[in-house]
Amino acid sequence: MITVSLNEIYSETYKALRSVNIEWSLAKDCANKAKWLAQHGQNFLEQILKTAVLYQKHDITISINENTNEKPVASALVALLLVEYVSANRITWEGYIDSTKFLLAAMGIIAEEQHIYLILENEKKELVAFTKNKTIYVNSNLDTNVKSYCFLKKYDFIKKKNIKFTSLKKNKDIIRLNDKCWDQLKSMAFKTYVPESETSKSGAGY
């Protein structure tokens, strides 16, 4: 295990995703979600590495309209865009998503920053998570790290039945990650750097 800072998680993540030609803003959104997940004690690293591989193989999509079970939406990349879209257009979005974990991060971020009440349900219309008062509450009985068909919408009233929900709280100051996965992310990030040139030397304090 290796201890890393949130700043490192952010910068290494977006650079790693840039190395496989993922759009700047999507890479940065993903980095912010990764940071959020780390702060909230959630795993994120393996999913990012997996996303990079699947993106290159075209096995995931960033289209919210053209997704299938075989080619689901890449939540690590577009979840924040998706929650903003659902919030702004007041629509219910439904579709296949590769993992709800990054969608939860996006819901958590928009709840904290813009106080928007959102609800996420699975294909059985079971409540997966909802946001309220800057906090996200997650159904403790469901696995959020799997591919699923889901519904995302704003809500005014919520029926929770007798399900146990856990609020995700910022509780991590020290982040420990699998060192092999971290090295892999860093080596991807390294590909975005440019070798030293005479011009670059002149900006380094010559």
Partner 1 sequence: MDFHTSQNKLDYNHPLRPPSEVMKLDRLGSFHQTRLSFARRLIDDLKYQKCKIEIDQWNIDFNGIGNAIIKIALKNETLSLVIFCHSISDEERTDRVIAEKWDMTFSLLRGIPNKHELNKLSKNLKIQESGRHNSKQLTLSRANKSQRIFEKVLTDLSVGKQPSEKLINDVGYLIRTTAVYGNGKFGIGDFSNKDQSIFLEKPFQAEMLTVYLVRYFSIELINFLAKQKGGKNSVTLSKHLTKHLGVGNATGLGMAPFLVNHQELIHQWIYNREKALSRVFSIKRLDKKTQNKIIHYINQAFKYSLQWKVDDKLQSKRIKELNLDLKKILQNEKLTKLLNFHYPIKRFFDFFKNDITLETQEILNSIFIEPFPKLIKDLINNMGAEEKKSVLIGYTVNDILEIIKDNFNWAIKIDTTKPEENYCFWYTSQTKLEPRLGIAKKDAGIEKQLPFDIAHQIKKAVNILNKLPSNMTAAEVMINQPELRNIIKRIIINKSMPYSEIQNNLIGKDMKPIDILRCKLSFFGASKFDPKSNLWTRITLFQGAPLPNELWKTNVNDWLFPNLSAV
Give the interface with partner 1 as residue ranges (CB under 8 A).
3-8, 15, 18, 23-26, 28-29, 32, 36, 62, 64, 78, 80-85, 87-89, 106, 109-110, 113-114, 116, 173-174, 190, 192-197, 199-206
Q: Which is nearer to partner 1, 100 or 139 (CB)?
A: 100
Kindly compute the dihedral angle of the four CA atoms of residues 70, 76, 78, 80, in this order, to the nearest 10 degrees: 140
Instruction: Kindly tell me which of 37 and 139 has the beta carbon lying closer to partner 1.
Output: 37
Q: Which is nearer to partner 1, 27 or 128 (CB)?
A: 27
- Helix (H) / strand (E) element for 122: namely strand 118-122
Region label for 98, one of left (φ > 0), alpha (ψ between -120 and 50) or beta (otherwise): alpha
Please say which residue, 107 or 139, places its beta carbon nearer to partner 1.
Answer: 107
* Amino acid occupying residue 52: A
The residues with which 167 forms a beta bridge, in sequence order, are 137
Conformational region of residue 48, where left means phi above 0, alpha means psi within -120 to 50, and beta covers everything else: alpha
Q: How far is the CB of 82 from partner 1 (least distance, A)?
A: 7
In whole angstroms, the minimum distance from the beta carbon of 168 to partner 1 comes to 16
